[in-house]
Chain A
Amino acid sequence: MNTESFLLLLGWAGVYLPTALGAIGSIVGCARAGQAAVGALLDVETGYGRLVGVSALPSSQTIYGIVVTMQFNRTVAVESAPGLFSLGLLVGLALLSSAMLQGTCAAAAINTTKTKPEVFGLSVAPAAIVEGFAVFAFIFAMIVGGGIPGGPAS
C-alpha cells in the first residue's frame, strides 16, 4: 500500500469514526444503565418508566456521531485525509468515553432513585453534566471540521 492509499484509508476512517465510536460508547453506556434499570425493577413497586427512561440517556452520543459523520462526508482526498482522521478520531474518543461514563452515572442515578425517589432530578445531574462535555466535543468538531479542505459531499 502506498502513502496516498494509506492516507485515503485514514481519511475514510476519520469520516466514519465519530459514528462508530459514538455507537460503541452508547452500546456500553445503555447496557450498563439498562441492566441497572432492570435490576431496580426487582426492588421497586412504582416508577418503572423513568428508571428505564434514564437508561436511554447515553444514546445521544450516537446521534452526535452521525451528525459529525454527515458533516465530514465528502470525497476523501490526500489534502483532507489527515484533518478528517485527526478530528474524527478525537471527537469519536470523546463521544465514546462520555457515553460509557454517562451510562455509569445513569446507573448510579437509578440505584439511588429506587431508594429515594424524591432525589430523582438531582441524581440525574451528573449524567447531564457528562452530556454537556459530549456536546462541547460535538460542536467544536463541527466548527473545526469546517476548515478541512473539500467541503461536505453534495
Chain B
Amino acid sequence: MMSSSSTDYYMLIASLPFIPRTFEVDQVPISRLRLAERLTLLDEDDQQVVEQVQQFLHWDRQDSERTDADVQREYERLMDTIQNSLVRDIIIHRMDVRTIMSGLRRRRWGLDPPAAVGQYVAHIRKHWQHPDFQLARKQPWIPSVRESLEKHEPLQVERELLRATWNRWTQLADQYYFSFETILLYLARWEIVDRWTRLDPIAGRRRFDTLLQETLSEHARIDN
C-alpha cells in the first residue's frame, strides 16, 4: 500500500502550516487550492488514498437527506474499495456518528430506529428508549448533543459533533509523526476547520471583511 520510502513524507508534512489545537478559528490554515498543490508531492498510490478520503469527507459533509439504503450502499462500496486501515477507521467513526445522530433525530420525530449503518445499529435498536442509547461511555458527546437537539440549537449541535470528531482525529494524530497517517489526519482536521469556518457566522463575517480589505488595498495599489 505504502510504496513511498519513509523519508518521503518529511517534506510534505513540514510544508503544511501548523493546524491549530481547536477547530474554532477564523480561517483555515491553508487554502484548498494551496493544499491541493502541496498534495501533489505524494506519489500516485498515496494520492489515490488521499482522493478516497477527500471524496468520503465531501460526501459526508453534504447536507442532503439520504435514505438508510443510500448510506448502506455507500458504506459497503467504501469498505469494499478501501484498504488503508486509518481511512477505514475515519469512515467507520463518521458513519457511527451519522447513525447515532439519525437515531436521536428519529426518536424525537417518533420514528423507528435507523436501519443503517455500522456497529451500533443493533445496540441502538436494543436500547431505543434509553436517552443516550447506553452509549454515553463510548461516545461521550451524545448527552450534550442530545440536549442541544432538544433545545433546537442546530449550530451548537454541529459544534458538538465537530468537536467529537476533532478530538478523535487529534488523539490519533498524536500517535503519528512524519508518516502518511499524519497527512490523512491533517486532511481530516483541515476539513473540520473548513466546515466550521463556513458555519460560524462571526468567522464568516471576519473572513468577508478580510477579503474586502485585501481587495480594496489591491485596488488602491493598482490605482497608485
User: Using a CB–CB distance below 8 Å, which chain A residues touch chain B?
Assistant: 28, 31-33, 35-43, 104, 107-108, 110-111, 114-115
Contacts and interface: CB of A to CB of B under 8 A. Distances in A.
A35 B11 contact: yes
Contacts of B11: 35-36, 38-39
Contacts of B10: 32-33, 35-36, 39, 107
Contacts of A36: 10-11, 13-14, 178
Contact of B13 (A39, A41, A115): A39
Contacts of B17: 43, 115
Contacts of B81: none
A43 B29 CA distance: 11
Nearest to B16: A43
A110 B14 contact: yes
Given A43-B17, A107-B10, 19 more contacts: A31-B7, A32-B10, A32-B178, A35-B7, A35-B8, A35-B10, A35-B14, A36-B13, A36-B14, A37-B14, A39-B13, A39-B14, A41-B15, A43-B15, A43-B16, A107-B178, A108-B177, A114-B14, A114-B18
Nearest to A107: B10
Nearest to B30: A43
Contacts of A43: 14-17
Interface string B12-33: 1111111000000000000000
A43 B12 CA distance: 11
Interface of B: 7-8, 10-18, 38, 177-178
A47 to B, nearest CB: 13
Contacts of B7: 28, 31-32, 35
Nearest to B6: A32
A115 B38 CA distance: 18
B30 to A, nearest CB: 9
Contacts of A37: 14
4 closest residue pairs by CB, A with B: A39-B14, A39-B15, A39-B11, A35-B10
B178 A40 contact: no
Nearest to B15: A39
Contacts of B8: 35
A74 B7 CA distance: 37
B147 to A, nearest CB: 36
Q: Which of A38, A43, A108, A110 has the most CB of B within 10 A?
A: A43
A31 B48 CA distance: 25
8 contacts: A28-B7, A35-B7, A35-B11, A35-B14, A43-B17, A107-B10, A108-B178, A115-B17
Q: Which of B8, B15, B16, B178 has the most CB of A within 10 A?
A: B15
Nearest to B34: A42
A28 B178 CA distance: 14
Contacts of A111: 13-14
A33 B178 CA distance: 11
Contact of B18 (A33, A107, A115): A115
A37 B8 CA distance: 13
B137 to A, nearest CB: 35
A39 B12 contact: yes
B193 to A, nearest CB: 16
Contacts of A28: 7
Nearest to A40: B14
Q: Which of B13, B14, B17 has the most CB of A within 10 A?
A: B14
